[in-house]
Amino acid sequence: MTTAAPQLDQPVCLRRPALRPLCVRAHIARPIVTKVLGRAPVRVTMPDGTTLGGAHDADAPTLQILHPTALFERMAHHPKIGFGEGYMAGDWSAAPGTDLADALLPFAQRMTSLVPPGLAKMRRVVDRRIPRATRNTLFGSRKNIEAHYDLSNDLFTAFLDESLSYSSALFDRSRPLAEQSLEEAQHAKIESVLDMADVTHGSRVLEIGTGWGSLAIAAARRGATVTSITLSHEQAELARERIAAADVEEPGLAQRIEVRLQDYREVSGQFDAIVSVEMIEAVGEEYWPTYFRALDDLLAPGGVAAIQSILMSHERYQATRNSFGWIQKHIFPGGLIPSTQAIEETTSQHTSLRVTATHRFGRDYAETLRRWRRTFLQEWPQIAASGFDETFRRKWEFYLAYCEAGFSADYIDVAQIRFERPAHA
């Protein structure tokens, strides 16, 4: 397959030579970026040999800026998106000997304090609103999901483990991580979600977000009957193939699983358990009440829902909820990470559901992402053969490292959350 070139905001001075005088924006941005860099213990080298940043130790994580005018002009145009697009374009890189996630970690650890208070007041000037085109309407959700999950099954199978789980694994912290395979930890995550939802023999289970079918298969192996819904044609096709293959070894298993191309707002019926792994991030704040009301309506009295969700602090959620960032533009259009407080307030105000248990394991996501990125880079020749270009490689390398740094710094977290519906509701 071939992929469309990602939409980069090319620096004005490169895009239109007649407007090269506007590169003065890069000169304005440079001292601001330098001030921000000075607040993090990272060493930044310039093409002329000078250094920026708050660390001058040669052993410190080091970034090298290769095209400063282009990078600073990008960041002047859009600070929240320009840095990542600069990496995609090759304007900067991790220096030899520095891992990209290690270089990003000091910034993630200081995300709330990097920008000096005086500059922080300019946030409303530089922030962009989330485009209305990415709203998660019934039509918009399909477009947003297809933009990421329908890229290619070959892409995902190249770097995921054999379970094809594209969400945080759950490692056994009583054992050395090096002794645990990613597949083992992913199966532990799946079993943990099913346990939290009380899935047993005879349970009627709704899965919102099929992925590639591993959780549905695991639930059916417990004797449950599973209805699994997705908006991704690619995922549905491969999930059905994997379910059929599992049925060869365990005849009758496929009869307990139905995979549908369906939105959660279109489901009817009653279920004893609802499970959803890292799908709520794609719902959008506007539709959180609708999403949780759907869970409430679809659960039988006394039923249990268990979701796995990426989380951020409520303060950060409030500060970023209306702002358009690099991840939303290039990776997950329409996405928004909730806070625990936002989830609890939404369910309390709009449903009879109540949170009764939460299990957090954000550092396990950092380890999961580290392994994905390592495999992605190792398998890049195979991935590139499917039609993905170098800009795509750098985009995904930055995406995986950026997220790894966020979880390592505890800036973002992940948790499995149990919701109960009272038997009398």
Residue indicated by tokens 């990470």: 337
Q: What single letter denotes the amino acid at residue 420?
A: E
d(CA 371, CA 182): 8
- Per-domain residue ranges of the chain: 12-126, 133-420
User: In the numeric block, which tokens belong to residue 199?
Assistant: 């899935």
Rounded CA gap, 138 and 287, in Å?
A: 11
Return the SS3 of 262.
coil
- Predicted confidence at residue 211, as pLDDT, reads 97
Q: Strand locations in 231-270, DSSP E?
A: 257-261
The long-range contacts involving 13-20, CB below 8 angstroms and separated by at least 24 positions, are: 13/69, 13/73, 14/70
The predicted-structure confidence for 185-239, as pLDDT tens digits, reads as follows 999 999 999 999 999 999 999 999 999 999 999 999 999 999 999 999 999 999 9
To which residue do tokens 């943990």 refer?
192
Q: Taking the CB of residue 245, how many other CB atoms lie within 10 A of it?
A: 12
Q: How many helices (H) and strands (E) does the chain have?
A: 19, 11
pLDDT at 24: 56
More confident residue, 138 or 8: 138
pLDDT given for residue 34 in this prediction:
74
Residue that is written with structure tokens 């750098």 in the block: 394
The single-letter code of the amino acid at 415 is A
> How many C-beta atoms surround the C-beta of residue 165 within 10 A?
23
Dmax over CA atoms of the chain, in Å, equals 71
114: pLDDT strictly greater than 70? no
Nearest-10 Cα torsion for 367, 371, 307, 242: -160
Angle between helices 340-350 and 288-298 (to 10 degrees): 60
Match domain 133-420 to its CATH number in 3.40.50.150, 3.40.800.20, 3.40.50.970, 3.30.70.20. 3.40.50.150
Of the listed ranges 34-48, 288-302, 313-327, 386-400, the one predicted with least confidence: 34-48
Q: Could you tell me where the beta strands, DSSP code E, fall in 42-117? A: 43-45, 51-52, 62-65, 92-94
Q: What percent of the chain has pLDDT over 90?
A: 71
For CA atoms 209, 214, 218, 221, the dihedral sign is positive
Mean pLDDT, residues 336-356 taken together: 97
- Residue 41, pLDDT > 90, answer no
The H or E element containing residue 357 is strand 354-360
Lowest mean pLDDT, pick from 20-34, 53-67, 295-309: 20-34
How many whole angstroms separate alpha carbon 383 and alpha carbon 389?
A: 9
Nearest to 103 by CA among 48, 45, 169: 45
The pLDDT value recorded for residue 385 is: 95
Query: Mean pLDDT, to the nearest integer, of 135-140?
Result: 88
Cα–Cα dist 218/191, whole Å: 8
Distance CA 51, CA 382 (A): 37
In 3-state terms, what secondary structure has residue 151?
coil
Residue 2 has what pLDDT? 45
Scanning the structure block, which residue is given the tokens 């979600």? Answer: 193
144/151 Cα distance (integer angstroms): 11
Instruction: Read off φ and ψ for residue 235, nearest 5 degrees.
Output: -65, -45
Most confident of 25-29, 52-56, 67-71: 67-71
**For the chain, what is the mean pLDDT?**
89
List beta partners, residue 241.
none
Between CA 372 and CA 385 the distance in angstroms is 19
Q: What is the mean pLDDT of residues 106-122?
A: 68
Which structure tokens are listed for 19?
């407007």
DSSP string, 105-116: HHHHHTTTTSS-
- The pLDDT of residue 122 is 53
Q: Residue 257 corresponds to which tokens in the numbers above? A: 């699983």
Extended strands (E) in 160-298: 204-208, 225-230, 257-261, 271-277
DSSP state of 129: B
Smallest CA-to-CA distance from 195 within 117, 275, 125 is with 275
- Give the residue ranges of DSSP H helices in 274-325: 288-298, 314-320
